Amino acid sequence: MTKSEKVEFVIKTLEQLYPNPPIPLDHKDPYTLLIAVLLSAQSTDARVNTITPLLFEKADNPYDMIKLTVDQIREIIKPVGLSPMKSKGIYGLSKILVEQYNGLVPESFEALEALPAVGHKTASVVMAQAFGVPAFPVDTHIHRLMYRWGLSTGKNVVQTERDAKRLFPKEKWNRLHLQIIFYGREYSPARGWNLANDIITSTVGRAEFRK
Distance CA 187, CA 69 (A): 42
Q: Is 121 a catalytic residue?
A: yes
| Share in percent of the chain as helix, strand, coil (round to 5) | 65, 0, 35
Active-site position among 6, 60, 86, 121:
121
Active-site position among 6, 60, 86, 139:
139
Q: Is 71 a catalytic residue?
A: no
Separation of first and last alpha carbons in the chain: 17
Where are the alpha helices (H) located in 40-113, listed in sequence order? 45-58, 62-65, 70-77, 83-100, 109-113
Distance CA 118, CA 150 (A): 30
The residues annotated as belonging to the active site are 121, 139
